[in-house]
Amino acid sequence: MINVSTKINSIDKLQRYIYCVNVLNGKEIDNDFMDFLKQKFMRTLNDVIDVNLKDGTTNDEYIEEYKKNNIIEDTSDGFVLYNHTMADISEMSPHTQAKYPNGFSIALAFEYGVGIVGENNAKMGAWEYNVNKHNFAWRYKKDGQIYSTYGYEGMEIYRKTVTLINGSMKSWLFEYLERM
CA distance 46 to 110: 14
Q: Specify the length of the chain in residues.
A: 180
Residue from 131, 120, 127, 115 nearest 159 by CA:
127
Would you give the distance in Å from CA 156 to the centre of its chain? 8
What's the whole-model pTM score?
0.72
- Encode pLDDT of 85-142 as tens digits: 998 888 777 877 787 778 888 898 898 888 766 666 656 665 666 566 667 777 767 7
Looking at per-residue pLDDT, the higher value among 90 and 81 belongs to: 81
SS3 151: strand
Would you give the distance in Å from CA 112 to the centre of its chain? 11
Average of per-residue pLDDT across 2-28: 52
Residues 6 or more apart in contact with residue 56 via CB below 8 angstroms: none
Looking at per-residue pLDDT, the higher value among 142 and 64 belongs to: 64
- Residue 119 CB-density burial (10 A; 0-12 exposed, 13-18 middle, 19+ buried): buried
For residues 19, 20, 21 and 25, what is the CA-based torsion angle, rounded to 10 degrees? Answer: 100
Q: Quick one: pLDDT at residue 95?
A: 75
CA distance 161 to 44: 6
User: Strands 104-105 and 86-87, how do they pair?
Assistant: antiparallel
